[in-house]
């Protein structure tokens, strides 16, 4: 019996889709290990809860950064343990569709394949995350109609114009929600002499972060440690204040989108102008991002429904192309969105 699964190995979250079941895992891409014994003690959300709170003997880290694997052994352990929850049979070796950023080197691809293969899989098929994001949002990417997608995550922003199952233009920037969190950490330290960790900054971004004039001014209580006295302290920050802090990073993403538009082939420009730009990925949820992009491009911008799940749902849809790839393994001319079979 075949078991086909999809994996979205993201910089901040790992999601798994199992054919005929749906999304059955969505956990933080974090692994915590005992340094002296080099032994994993927790992965996923359990390991995320340890960030910033670990004693010297334990480290909790993200094995991925900028959408690619930064620590391969840690990534292998994390993926293996997470997949064990999903695929309990020791006999069935799954076929896996995994999403990757658009601009990725052969070495980086290999690292993804190795991390997944360490679990014991039959085959790994890679697919660009903009392609699966569009599929997950219900778009027919095989049609000759052009679709522009911006998949905005924690570590990467991927923008592409798709047509006929392929990427006509695409650009990737290793910049995303994590960089906004860092912007907030630095600002709070500089302005208020308060030291906070990235998880606190992320909470602040999610609750009051916005990128165009907020409908209502919200406040968020940032808790940390005073840089001088070392004692716990808090400050209240507002939406408009945080908007200024994260705007520069957001504008780099806007520039990326404009760069892709400038390179759009004339035949597809009309489609993009009439349909607009589709935003997917968790960062698309930040209030006012679609407005900021629309104001700077003069193009309509739509945020997909549950944007953070588009990539994994698309991986689930891309599973349907596996059989075709395996049947037509030798034919070169067929359009198939899956690439790089390992």
What is the contact surface with ligand ATP in residues (CB under 6 A)? 10-13, 67, 153-156, 176-178, 202, 205-206, 209, 281-283, 285-286, 308
d(CA 317, CA 321): 8
Tell me which of 6, 10, 44, 102 binds Mg ion, using CB under 5 A.
10
Does position 153 interact with Mg ion (CB under 5 A)? The reply is: yes
Stretch that binds Mg ion, among 5-13, 109-117, 202-210, 285-293 (CB under 5 A): 5-13
Asked whether the beta carbons of 214 and 288 are under 8 A apart, the reply is: yes
CB of 70 to ligand ATP, least distance (A): 11
Does position 6 interact with Mg ion (CB under 5 A)? The reply is: no
CB of 11 to ligand ATP, least distance (A): 3
In the complex with ligand ATP, the residue whose CB is nearer, 194 or 279, is 279
Nearest to 185 by CA among 156, 223, 230: 223
In the complex with ligand ATP, the residue whose CB is nearer, 193 or 306, is 306
CB of 313 to Mg ion, least distance (A): 12
In the complex with Mg ion, the residue whose CB is nearer, 44 or 153, is 153
d(CA 304, CA 131): 14
CB of 104 to ligand ATP, least distance (A): 11
Asked whether the beta carbons of 318 and 337 are under 8 A apart, the reply is: yes
CB of 153 to Mg ion, least distance (A): 4
**DSSP string of 34-59, one letter each residue:** ETTTTEEEEETHHHHTTTTT--TTEE
| Helix 239-262 × helix 289-297 angle, to 10° | 40
Strands 64-65 and 68-69: antiparallel
Q: How far apart are the first and last CA of the chain?
A: 20
Stretch that binds Mg ion, among 108-116, 153-161, 237-245, 327-335 (CB under 5 A): 153-161
Give CA separation, 24 vs 87, 180, 233, 269, 331, in Å.
11, 29, 39, 38, 34
CB of 40 to ligand ATP, least distance (A): 20
Helix, strand or coil, per DSSP, at residue 104: coil
The residue number whose beta carbon is nearest to ligand ATP equals 177
d(CA 211, CA 93): 45
Task: Report the partner that residue 209 touches, choosing among Mg ion, ligand ATP, none (CB closer than 5 to 8 A by kind).
Answer: ligand ATP
Task: Report the partner that residue 12 touches, choosing among Mg ion, ligand ATP, none (CB closer than 5 to 8 A by kind).
Answer: ligand ATP
Task: Report the partner that residue 205 touches, choosing among ligand ATP, Mg ion, none (CB closer than 5 to 8 A by kind).
Answer: ligand ATP
d(CA 64, CA 115): 11
Give Cβ neighbours of residue 95 (< 8 Å, ≥ 6 apart): 2, 3, 4, 5, 121, 122, 123, 124, 125, 319, 322
Does position 101 interact with Mg ion (CB under 5 A)? The reply is: no
Q: Could you tell me how many residues make up the chain?
A: 342
In the complex with ligand ATP, the residue whose CB is nearer, 24 or 323, is 24
In the complex with Mg ion, the residue whose CB is nearer, 152 or 208, is 152
In the complex with Mg ion, the residue whose CB is nearer, 8 or 76, is 8
In the complex with ligand ATP, the residue whose CB is nearer, 165 or 282, is 282
CB of 316 to ligand ATP, least distance (A): 15
d(CA 307, CA 304): 5
In the complex with Mg ion, the residue whose CB is nearer, 276 or 281, is 281
Task: Report the partner that residue 286 touches, choosing among ligand ATP, Mg ion, none (CB closer than 5 to 8 A by kind).
Answer: ligand ATP
Site for Mg ion, rule CB under 5 A: 10, 153
């Amino acid at each position: 019996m075949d078991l086909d699964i999809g994996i979205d190995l993201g910089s901040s979250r790992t999601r798994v889709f199992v054919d005929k079941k749906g999304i059955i895992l969505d956990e933080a891409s974090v692994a915590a290990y005992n340094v002296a014994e080099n032994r994993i003690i927790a992965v996923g959300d359990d390991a995320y809860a340890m960030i910033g709170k670990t004693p010297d003997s334990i480290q909790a880290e993200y094995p991925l950064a900028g959408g690619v694997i930064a620590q391969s052994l840690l990534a292998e352990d994390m993926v293996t343990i997470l997949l064990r929850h999903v695929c309990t049979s020791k006999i069935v070796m799954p076929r896996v569709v995994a999403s990757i950023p658009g601009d990725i080197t052969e070495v980086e691809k290999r690292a993804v394949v190795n991390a997944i293969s360490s679990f014991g899989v039959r085959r790994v098929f890679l697919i660009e995350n903009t392609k699966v994001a569009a599929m997950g949002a219900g778009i027919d990417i095989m049609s000759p109609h052009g679709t522009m997608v911006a998949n905005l995550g924690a570590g990467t922003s991927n923008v592409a114009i798709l047509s006929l199952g392929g990427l006509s233009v695409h650009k990737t920037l290793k910049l995303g929600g994590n960089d906004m969190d860092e912007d907030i950490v630095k600002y709070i330290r500089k302005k208020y002499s308060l030291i906070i960790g990235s998880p606190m900054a992320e909470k602040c971004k999610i609750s009051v972060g916005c990128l165009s004039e907020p409908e209502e001014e919200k406040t968020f209580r940032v808790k940390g440690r005073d840089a001088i006295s070392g004692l716990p302290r808090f400050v209240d920050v507002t939406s408009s204040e945080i908007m200024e802090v994260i705007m520069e990073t957001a504008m780099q993403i806007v520039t990326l989108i404009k760069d892709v538009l400038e390179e759009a082939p004339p035949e597809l420009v009309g489609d993009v102008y009439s349909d607009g730009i589709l935003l997917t990925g968790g960062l698309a949820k930040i209030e006012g991002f679609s407005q900021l992009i629309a104001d700077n491009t003069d193009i309509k911008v739509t945020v997909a429904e549950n944007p953070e799940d588009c990539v994994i749902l698309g991986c689930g849809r891309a599973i349907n192309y596996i059989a075709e790839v395996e049947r037509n393994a030798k034919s070169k001319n067929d359009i198939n969105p899956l690439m790089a079979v390992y």
